[in-house]
Amino acid sequence: MPLDIVMLGPPGAGKGTQAARLAKHYGIPAISTGDMLREAVQAGTDLGSRVKAVMDRGDLVGDDLMIEIVRERLARADTANGFVLDGFPRTRPQAGALDAMVNEGGLSIIDIAVPAEELVRRLSSRRICRDCAAIADPASVERGATSCATCGGMLVQRSDDREQVVRERLAVYERNTKPLLDYYRDRPSFRTIDGLQPPDAVFGAIAEAIDGMAAPGGGDKVRTPLVPEGPRPGAAG
């Protein structure tokens, strides 16, 4: 049966890292908002052209367009056994649309919770490679590393990782995402995970929660997701 996972959490909570690990562990694709937007633009389709026009204006991609991008991505064959979504949904309309795509009972919703001051510390100390954009190991940064362990490029701070900007990003997340958490919170397939633990412990807690929900009676989940336009590739229908 498909294993459909939604990762929630503020910037700096570790969603991307854990999504990649979960994808490898369960053999399903990790799908991020950024990846979807880049793929749409690079594809040069009508949808991609519309996305590029929005981004070129410096505007945020609206709900309707974002939903269309996700619907197209989830209709691909590689999601037949499930997916891990990172960065979608971000609003209640997006969450409602996702429910319609996959059957709301079929989602495992994971929220990684981390206190705001820890997030500020993590993000404001984060460094990336100027050349390959790899995120530097935090421990190496604390030891004073200035070059990328992958390619040797210079480590720099992203402009949106400055403390004032980080606090603004977290305020936006809190304002926009609380209604989304309220939307999901009462579902038997919703779990909050302590993101203050070491990454391995966070991963273990998430996997344990997901496996528990997938067990008989673990979350009373409906495991027959469909894309609105027709059966999802590989699904019974």
21-72 confidence digits (pLDDT tens): 999 999 999 999 888 888 888 888 888 888 888 878 867 788 998 999 899 8
Per-residue pLDDT tens over the stretch 104-132:
568 999 999 999 999 999 999 999 999 99
Encoded tokens for 27: 């053999």
pLDDT of residue 115: 94
Write out the catalytic residue numbers.
15, 90, 126, 158, 169
Q: What is the pLDDT of residues 83-107, one digit of tens each?
A: 999 989 989 999 999 999 987 568 9
Please state, rounded to an integer, the average pLDDT across all residues of the chain: 86
Distance CA 68, CA 47 (A): 8
How many domains does the chain fold into? 1
Contact, 106 vs 53, CB < 8 A? no
The yes-or-no verdict on residue 233 having pLDDT over 60 is no
Range of the domain at 45: 3-114+176-214
pLDDT at residue 227 in the model: 36
CA angle 226, 83, 158 (to 5 degrees): 130
Residue 153 binned pLDDT confidence (cut-offs 50, 70, 90): very high
Q: 128: which strand partners?
A: 135, 156
Residue 50 falls within a domain, yes or no? yes
- List C-alpha distances in Å: 213 to 42, 154, 223: 37, 43, 11
More confidently predicted of 223 and 7: 7
For the domain that residue 103 is a member of, what is the CATH number?
3.40.50.300
Of residues 181 and 237, which shows the higher confidence score? 181
Within-domain flag for 190: yes
| pLDDT at residue number 236 | 35
Alpha helices in the chain (DSSP H): 15-26, 33-43, 46-56, 63-74, 92-102, 116-124, 138-142, 163-184, 199-214
Domain membership flag for residue 25: yes
Is residue 34 in some structural domain?
yes
Residues 199 and 202: their CA atoms lie apart, in Å, by 5
Contacts by 29-33 with C-beta closer than 8 Å and gap 24+? 29/78, 29/79, 29/83, 29/84, 30/83, 30/84, 30/86, 31/73, 31/74, 31/79, 31/83, 31/84, 31/85, 31/86, 31/88, 32/86, 32/87, 33/66, 33/86, 33/87, 33/88, 33/90
Q: Give 59's DSSP letter.
A: P
Q: Is residue 136 part of a domain?
A: no
The answer as to whether 32 is a domain residue is yes
